[in-house]
Every structure is written in C-alpha cells, then in structure tokens.
C-alpha cells in the first residue's frame, strides 16, 4: 500500500492534493517518499472553530470536489474521503483545502504497483461512517461514484455536524450489521437530521453563524436534494462525477436551479 500511495500521488498535480517531492529506498532497503508538508486541520474542525457560514463551507467543499475530480481524471479513486483526510490551511487570508492519504486508493486503469495488496477476510476497506454501499457489500466493481458518495457524506457533515449514520451506532454493531445498514437503511435528509438533533441544534447553528430556525430552512429543499442525490444507494442515480456535484453546489450558491431538484414547472 505504501508503494501504491507513492505511485498515486506521483500521477497527480493539483493545488488541492499533497505533492510527492521525492521517493526511493534507504541503504537498508526501507522505502520512503518525501511529501509536501500540509500544515492544516481537518475540514470539519476548521469550519467549526472559525464558525464558517453555510456558503463559506460550500466554497471549501467545491475546492475538495475539484481535487477529487483531478484524481479521477488521472484514474485514481481515493476510497477513504473523510474530514481527517481533507486538511485546511489559511494562506494569505484564504482557506485552502488539500486532500491527503491515498493509502487505499484504487487505479481504474490498472495497478498502482506490481506488488500484491492483501486484504483480510471480511475486512472493511475505508471508514464505516463514510463507506459506500458497494464497498460495504465487498464488491470489487467500484468506480468514481464511490468517491461521490463519500463527498456526499462529507457535505452532510459540513451542513449538519453529524454523519448520515451515527458513529456510535455503527461502531457498536457487528460487521454484518454495519454492512446491512450502509446497504439498506435510508438516512434522514440533512434538514430532517437537524429536527432529530434538537438538543444540539442551537450549537450546530451557532457554529454556522445562524439561528436554528434559519439553518433548518436553509437546508430544506435544494441542499437536501443535492446531498441525497450524492448518497443514493444505486450508483447510477448519483452524480456521475465529483465535478457534477460541485457544479450543482455552485448553482445553489448562485441562486440558479439545481439539477438534483425534482422537475416541476413551479421550480
């Protein structure tokens, strides 16, 4: 996996992805690579600590989608997009997101290394809260829409402060139950999750520089539609690309109709 990550990073050149500067082996045969130092913090921590508004969080999310899209154009699927793998630094007063940790990345056009990658029997590859239905069922048939799903989970968390499935519930379950929940259970929409989390709604809203009622109203409708389209169980119903997801977020920010909306003359 070390060799595969080095090869994946070497393929990419994007300001939103940490760069590889050098690689090789020590005299004793230990492999190494020299990587750009990313002096940042997880995207959710950055957003909450600075109490970023919903539009500011969406701007950062578009940056993340751009980096993931670049990886996809190079034939690389990340497979483990989550807040701790998206670090945010502030440069010249501007927040900049960088995607890191391509340790379990998969190449769509071939192998990243000629060495064999072994996975233990019934071992989950990735993080349960961000795992896609096709990963949960152990399918080897994954594509870029696997990362689109994880981006949907990340957006859900940026908006609501929680993941679609509660961490405590998932991590207390057995392997088979975790996989079943991810494959079969429909999560609540972001606005519905806020209603369920009434006890923490005031805190969540304050971290987004708004009032509880206004936050619920802001998420209801288009942002709900965008997130839930990214989280579709069936891949063909999700956004086809990370860029497609980003474009819908941009449309929302610009006050334009989003493609995730159910078609109607009124809309």
- Rounded distance, CA 143 to CA 46, Å? 29
Q: Which tokens go with 152?
A: 């949907």
CB half-sphere exposure, 157, CA atoms < 13 A: 25
Distances (CA, A) of 222 to 92, 128, 219, 258: 32, 27, 7, 7
66: number of Cβ within 10 Å: 18
Q: What is the DSSP code string of 44-79?
A: HHHHHHTT--HHHHHHHHHHHHHHHHHHHHTTEE-S
Instruction: Work out the burial of residue 98: count CB atoms within 10 Å of its CB; fewer than 13 is exposed, 13-18 middle, 19 or more buried.
Output: buried
Backbone angles phi, psi at 110, to 5 degrees: 155, -170
The catalytic residue positions are: 80
């Amino acid at each position: 996996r070390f060799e595969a990550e080095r090869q994946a990073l070497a393929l990419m050149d994007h300001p939103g992805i940490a760069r590889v500067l050098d690689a090789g082996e020590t005299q004793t045969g230990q492999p190494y690579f020299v990587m750009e130092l990313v002096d940042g913090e997880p995207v959710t921590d950055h957003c909450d600590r600075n109490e970023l508004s919903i539009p500011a969080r969406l701007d950062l999310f578009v940056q993340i989608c751009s980096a993931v899209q670049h990886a996809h154009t190079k034939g690389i699927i990340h497979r483990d997009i989550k807040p701790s793998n998206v670090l945010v630094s502030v440069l010249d007063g501007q927040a900049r997101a960088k995607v890191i940790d391509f340790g379990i990345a998969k190449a769509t056009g071939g192998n990243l290394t000629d060495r064999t990658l072994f996975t233990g029997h019934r071992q989950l590859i990735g993080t349960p809260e961000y795992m896609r239905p096709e990963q949960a069922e152990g399918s080897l048939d994954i594509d870029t829409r696997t990362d689109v799903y994880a981006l949907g989970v990340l957006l859900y968390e940026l908006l609501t402060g929680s993941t679609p499935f509660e961490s405590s519930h998932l991590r207390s379950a057995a392997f088979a139950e975790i996989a079943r929940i991810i494959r079969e259970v429909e999560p609540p929409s972001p606005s519905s999750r806020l209603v369920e989390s009434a006890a923490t709604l005031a805190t969540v809203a304050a971290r987004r520089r708004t009032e509880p009622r206004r936050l619920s109203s802001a998420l209801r409708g288009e942002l709900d539609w965008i997130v839930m389209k990214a989280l579709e169980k069936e891949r063909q119903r999700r956004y086809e690309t990370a860029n497609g997801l980003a474009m819908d977020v941009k449309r929302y920010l610009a006050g334009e109709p989003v493609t995730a909306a159910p078609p109607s003359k009124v809309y």
